[in-house]
Chains A and B, each alone.
Chain A
Amino acid sequence: MSPKMQNTVRLTLSYIAIAIACVIILYPVLWIVGSSFNPGDSLSGSSIIPKDATLDHYKSLFNTAESDYLLWYWNTLKICIITMILAVAMISCMAYAFSRYRFVGRKNGLMTFLILQMIPNFAALIAIYVLAYITGLLDTHFALILVYAGGLLPMNTWLAKGYFDTIPKELDESARIDGAGHFRIFWQIILPLAKPILAVVALFSFITPFTDFILAQVILRSEEKFTLAVGLYKMISDQFGNEFTTFAAGSVLIAIPISILFLSLQRYFISGLTAGGTKG
């Protein structure tokens, strides 16, 4: 076989493999989009490109009398944004303290964080449930936000601390000589320079609660408090098949904005995960 032939064979095989992969990836996506336009409630007799496409299911999702979907969307965004703000504020403070100061208990603190980040925070889900129950915080967004924010701290503090360590200390020192206080150095010098890592931390802090199912399922009880993950699950588990097309429309409306957000910010995710994975 001549080298040129070999090349052609290699490329053809590659394209075939890639094509198969693309079909497998895209088929479920097209199927759910197709289902969401499918008239009627069930899928029996439907095809991937519906003959008489309808927007009814989308309309019924937006009809607040008929569905809690918009409420779930609002709940989710609210929880995610508050969690994000809370987490970023606490993480940047802690990372700054760990990175710039040498104080009694620092080493133990860092070690505690390292060990805590190994335990997924839903491992203690019985405790979270029982504690939320006896403190009367069951079925509140407040409890959920606290649990999310707390769970984000250990890993992301390490991540941010690693980045803060790379900002030269000479900057702080010269600012200190110029008479800047501790907080001012943090606020006016370190934070602006740490924007890239803060963006990564913010992204994680937003997306983690958004995609979480288990904690929300444990804590939230009443339907008007649900997040999207729990709501969507309820939609499908209560009347499986009967409301599938509406569920499909609901899925599409979640998947599109999040995918766009994700794809446009992908490199931040990758940089954050690489740093997190190799640095601990």
Chain B
Amino acid sequence: MEATERQTKHRKTALALSIIPGFGQFYNKQILKGLMFFILTVSFAVAFADLINIGLWGIVTLGEKLPRDHSIFLLTQGIIAVLVILIGLVIYFLNLRDAYLNGRNRDLGIPLNSVKEQYRNVTEQGFPYLMLSPGFFLLIFVVIFPILFVILLSFTNYDLYHSPPANLVDWIGVQNYIDIFKLDIWRDTFLDVFSWTIVWTFVATTGQIAIGIFLAVLMNQKDLKFKGIFRTIFILPWAVPAFVSILVFAGMFNETFGAINNDILAAFGIDAIPWLTEPFWTKVALILIQFWLGFPFIFAMVTGVLQSIPDELYEAATVDGANMWQKFRGITLPMVLFAIAPILITQYTFNFNNFNVIYLFNGGGPAVSGQTAGSTDILISWIYKLTFTSAQYGKAAAITMILSAIVIGVALWQFRRTKSFQEEDMM
């Protein structure tokens, strides 16, 4: 017992000495590795000292003096400084870990790796990191960095009146969020937009799913002819790029020259409908268009599932005297819904964020007087307008956060129930 206690000194000493990176390795007589850790740390500190210094100052104050300070530059520098510090901490942690592990090996009397073995170890274990690094760097800069930026932006007053280089931006805490729910003008707009977003998501998505399932079941009847050509026609709306179809529909629904009013409704003797100027009719048109755009995907998925349902099930049901409706309710629908459930949820989140159809069809209009959002704007298109027409960056960021919380909440709820989380290699 006494012997082991004395021996544990190595790992503790190595760890303690490693507070200055490299010295733990020197203690473990791994001079080369120690030197590398030491040089890496020193050069890291020297190279980034300024950046970290300015960055941290900038992210805290967002600038103090005009025209010297540009708040948004300082904010970005601040985020970079934080990321750099994180990378530095990872290296520092690796240094501590290495010293500790080798110290422990010495305690246990295991010989340490020679320089040659160390080199082989690095290339061996470094390979996956090498493969990951290009993708990870890209992700950090174009995905993670913007997300951090939006999160921080939502706590600032960055808008038209507080916009660099003429003005400074300040931290205002959760004031943006409070304003959205407290100030009448923001709250009313938010509630309008939010409730329409929910209605839109549910009606448009449920409709497209119902149509897709209906047509797939219809098409799956054995004695139907020309299935191939019908299926191709049914897939067609999915094949045409959505932005093209939506713009074409915008033309068709146009009140002066569009075919819907001039040709179709006129043929039935119905008066022209104000598709683009009356909020109610714009909403109807949008939902109908989304039915058209969205059902082929569901149709294709369900067709695949239907072909995998064994015929015996239906035969047995027939023997038991079930009619067509009972077979559909009892066999087809549950099997289909079970098989495509995850896809259905992504359809809802997709429509929740379906910027293209809203914006390209009528720009979120018709406009509502006194509001920053049009009467058919959903959250994402409202965010777009706040950013690009009224320059309300802080508020837009706060709304983005609310939107993301909803989407991530739904997605987490969904993924908890799918295989990804239960796979052995995630544990």
Contact = CB atoms under 8 A, between A and B. Distances in A.
Interface string B238-250: 1111111101111
A147 interface: yes
Contacts of A54: none
A199 B131 CA distance: 20
Contacts of B343: 273-274, 277-278
A234 to B, nearest CB: 11
Given A14-B218, A119-B407, A262-B239, A103 B248 contact: no
Most buried by B among A106, A130, A262: A130
B236 A259 contact: yes
Contact of B219 (A18, A89, A124): A18
A274 B297 CA distance: 11
Given A28-B249, A118-B408, A147-B142, A262 B238 contact: yes
A225 to B, nearest CB: 17
B50 interface: no
B353 A120 contact: yes
Contacts of A232: 243-244, 247
Interface in B207-234: 215, 218-219, 221, 223-224, 230, 232-234
Interface string A1-16: 0000001001100110
A95 B76 CA distance: 30
A124 B147 contact: yes
Contacts of A26: 233, 236
A266 interface: yes
Nearest to A258: B241
Interface in A130-157: 130-131, 134, 146-147, 149-151, 153-154, 157
Nearest to A31: B259
A195 B177 CA distance: 48
B241 A211 contact: yes
Interface string B333-374: 000000010110010000001011001100100000000000
Interface stretch (B4-12, B37-45, B187-195, B397-405): B397-405
Contacts of B384: 125, 214
B145 interface: yes
A35 B247 CA distance: 13
Interface in A53-69: none
B146 A131 contact: yes
B393 interface: yes
Contact of A251 (B224, B244, B363): B244
| Contact-residue size bin, chain B (C-beta under 8 Å from the other chain) | 35 or more
Contacts of A127: 145-147, 149-150, 153, 397
A149 to B, nearest CB: 6
Contacts of B239: 258-259, 262-263, 266
B56 interface: no
B18 to A, nearest CB: 18
A122 B380 contact: yes
Contact of A130 (B72, B127, B138, B232): B72
B298 to A, nearest CB: 11
A90 interface: yes
Given A123-B353, A274-B304, A131 B149 contact: yes
B419 A153 contact: no
Nearest to A29: B236
A229 to B, nearest CB: 5
A25 B292 contact: yes
Contacts of B419: 278-280
B257 interface: yes
Most buried by B among A11, A116, A259: A259
A259 B240 contact: yes
Interface in B256-303: 256-257, 259, 263, 292, 297, 300-301
A48 interface: yes
Interface string B116-149: 0000000001011101101110110111111101
A233 B139 contact: no
B53 to A, nearest CB: 20
B409 to A, nearest CB: 9
Interface string B6-39: 0000000000000000000000000000000000
Contacts of A94: 131-132, 135-136
B217 to A, nearest CB: 10
Contacts of A126: 150, 153, 383, 387, 393, 396-397, 400
Contact of B248 (A32, A90, A96, A129): A32
Contact of B233 (A25, A111, A218): A25
A193 B141 CA distance: 32
A263 B143 contact: no
Contact of A149 (B128, B138, B237): B138
Given A263-B235, A270-B301, A129 B135 contact: no
A121 interface: yes
Nearest to B403: A123
Nearest to B297: A273
A182 interface: yes
29 contacts: A28-B249, A31-B248, A32-B251, A89-B134, A93-B132, A96-B131, A97-B131, A101-B127, A118-B408, A121-B143, A122-B380, A124-B146, A126-B150, A128-B142, A130-B153, A134-B73, A147-B142, A158-B420, A186-B131, A211-B241, A213-B360, A244-B257, A247-B247, A248-B248, A248-B251, A254-B244, A266-B235, A277-B340, A280-B419
Q: Which 7 A-B pairs have the closest CB atoms?
A: A150-B142, A280-B420, A127-B146, A124-B146, A118-B411, A101-B128, A127-B149
Interface of B: 72-73, 76, 125, 127-129, 131-132, 134-136, 138-139, 141-147, 149-150, 153, 215, 218-219, 221, 223-224, 230, 232-245, 247-252, 254, 256-257, 259, 263, 292, 297, 300-301, 304, 324, 340, 342-343, 346, 353, 355-356, 359-360, 363, 380, 383-384, 387-388, 393, 396-397, 400, 403-404, 407-408, 411-412, 415, 418-421, 425-426
Given A124-B147, A128-B146, 4 more contacts: A90-B135, A119-B147, A127-B147, A255-B241
